[in-house]
């Protein structure tokens, strides 16, 4: 009887430990869709939804229109389905932070912004702010202002937000997953006390302006491509940034590139970006009928497809790579995994389902 009780205790303790470990892993969805479509997604499998995007109006965080307000309010209502779910407001995006460098360069701008963030979170009953400024101190969206002072001003912005919001609200930011951003945009040693999470955009590592093809969201570097999820995590760990504040990124969309020559199944060749498309529109059978051949890069741990006749390569995340990224986040004791974006997923048997399965297997 004692042995049975001991065995029961061990099994129960193991189960509780597994549950606790899983709860430590954030599963964060950026969401740029509307109020209606999100109901079809398994939001019970998420810890956070980041509403994308609010914008600056003057020095203040602004919700653009009635539809955006309705969407945010509906996201908050999803807590009835998932009581532990947190809804985060976000500012910026690739083209959405044009005034950020100027506004965040002054105490007045930072203070007014932080006050507006607190006001909107209180009004909507949301749970924090995510800053998606692409990028402080280095060139981002063409024509947007950037200055060397952005780097320190970003630290002051996070400090002002924390002083204004206190501990009640979460503060995170979307960080470029590439080396130049990691080395030049952020005062990593100074921001630690102010942020809960850093959402590493370890996707678009080969992007719309790239002139050489490659994996846009690989887990590991290859001899031909340094930029990867592991490269970003390793760099930040090497300079002492706490890994338990790092969230790695996955892509719920694919990118197609044209290659100049037919070589190496399209990888690491001169070429240019053609277009992107959502995972929900990814049809393996149709692509294979068009002449695309599926490949798996076992070094990068990344899938891709190549059409030799058309000289086109598709780079993406799939169920296999998402599973490996999720297990990497757990094994490395990171804060979690996030993705852009939920509305790109399939509503059933999608990449979020694969991610959740990886967490619980």
Q: Mean pLDDT, to the nearest integer, of 13-19?
A: 36
Per-residue pLDDT for 118 more than 60? yes
Chain centroid to CA 238: how far? 21
Domains, the chain: 21-251+317-360 (3.20.20.80)
- Per DSSP, what are the bridge partners of residue 105? none
Residues 6 or more apart whose Cβ sits within 8 Å of residue 322: 250, 351, 354, 355, 358
Per-residue pLDDT for 8 more than 90? no
Sort residue 21 into left (φ over 0), alpha (ψ -120 to 50) or beta.
alpha
Q: What's the pLDDT at 75?
A: 98
**CA–CA separation, 127 and 85 (whole Å):** 9
Q: What's the pLDDT at 310?
A: 98
Question: For all residues of the chain together, what is the average pLDDT?
Answer: 94
Q: What's the pLDDT at 24?
A: 77
Known catalytic membership, residue 44: no
Per-residue pLDDT for 12 more than 60? no
Q: What's the pLDDT at 15?
A: 36
Confidence grade of residue 285 (pLDDT, cut at 50, 70, 90): very high
- pLDDT digits over 20-78, tens only? 344 479 999 999 999 999 999 999 999 999 999 999 999 999 998 899 999 999 999 99
Q: Mean pLDDT, to the nearest integer, of 3-27?
A: 48
Residues 6 or more apart whose Cβ sits within 8 Å of residue 18: none
Burial 178-209 (b: 16+ CB within 10 A, else e): beebbeebbbbeebeebbbbbbbbbbbbbeee
Per-residue pLDDT for 170 more than 90? yes
**CA–CA separation, 272 and 259 (whole Å):** 7
Per-residue pLDDT for 2 more than 50? no
**CA–CA separation, 249 and 219 (whole Å):** 10
- pLDDT digits over 174-187, tens only? 999 999 999 999 99
Q: Where are the alpha helices (DSSP H) in the chain?
A: 2-24, 66-77, 100-103, 107-124, 150-165, 179-184, 188-191, 229-238, 284-289, 319-331, 351-360
- Percent of the chain at pLDDT above 90? 92
Q: Mean pLDDT, to the nearest integer, of 100-127?
A: 98
Residues 6 or more apart whose Cβ sits within 8 Å of residue 178: 205, 227, 232
Q: What's the pLDDT at 208?
A: 96
**CA–CA separation, 199 and 211 (whole Å):** 26
Burial class (CB in 10 A: 0-12, 13-18, 19+), 324: middle
Of the ranges 57-66, 119-128, 182-191, 245-254, which one carries the lowest mean pLDDT score? Answer: 57-66
Q: What's the pLDDT at 64?
A: 83
Higher pLDDT, 10 or 208: 208
Pairing state between β 312-315 and 302-307: antiparallel
Of the ranges 8-22, 87-101, 109-123, 281-295, which one carries the lowest mean pLDDT score? Answer: 8-22
- Percent of the chain at pLDDT above 70? 94
Residues 6 or more apart whose Cβ sits within 8 Å of residue 156: 104, 107, 110
Q: Which of 112, 134, 149, 319 is catalytic?
A: 134
Residue with tokens 């995340």: 317
Q: Mean pLDDT, to the nearest integer, of 80-89?
A: 98
């Amino acid at each position: 009887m004692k042995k049975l009780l001991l065995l029961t205790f061990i099994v129960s303790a193991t189960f509780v430990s597994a549950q606790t470990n899983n709860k430590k892993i954030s599963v964060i969805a950026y969401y740029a869709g509307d109020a209606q479509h999100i109901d079809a997604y398994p939001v019970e499998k998420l810890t956070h939804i980041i509403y994308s995007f609010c914008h600056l109006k003057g020095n203040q965080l602004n919700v653009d229109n009635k539809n955006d307000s309705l969407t945010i309010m509906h996201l908050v209502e999803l807590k009835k389905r998932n009581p532990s779910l947190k809804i985060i407001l976000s500012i910026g995006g690739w083209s959405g932070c044009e005034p950020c460098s100027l506004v965040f360069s002054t105490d007045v701008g930072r203070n007014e912004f932080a006050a507006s963030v607190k006001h909107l979170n209180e009004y909507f009953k949301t749970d924090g702010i995510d800053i998606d400024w692409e990028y402080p101190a280095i060139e981002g969206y063409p024509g947007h202002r950037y200055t060397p002072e952005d780097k320190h001003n970003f630290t002051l912005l996070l400090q002002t937000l924390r002083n204004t919001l206190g501990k009640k609200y979460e503060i995170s930011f979307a960080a470029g997953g590439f080396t130049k951003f990691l080395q030049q945009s952020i005062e990593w040693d100074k921001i630690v006390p102010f942020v809960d999470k850093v959402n590493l955009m370890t996707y678009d590592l080969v992007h719309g302006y790239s002139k050489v093809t490659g994996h846009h969201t690989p887990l590991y570097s290859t001899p031909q491509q340094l930029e990867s999820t592991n490269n970003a995590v390793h760099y930040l760990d090497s300079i002492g940034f706490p890994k338990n504040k790092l969230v790695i990124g996955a892509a719920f969309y694919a990118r197609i590139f044209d290659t100049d020559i037919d070589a190496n199944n399209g990888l690491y060749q001169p070429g240019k970006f053609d277009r992107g498309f959502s995972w929900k529109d990814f049809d393996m059978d149709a692509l294979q009928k068009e002449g695309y051949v599926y490949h798996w890069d076992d070094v990068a741990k990344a899938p891709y497809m190549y059409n030799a006749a058309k000289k086109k390569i598709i780079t993406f995340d799939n169920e296999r790579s998402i599973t490996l990224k999720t297990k990497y986040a757990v094994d490395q004791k990171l804060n979690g995994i996030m993705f852009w974006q939920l509305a790109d997923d399939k509503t059933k048997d999608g990449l979020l389902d694969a991610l959740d399965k990886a967490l619980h297997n």
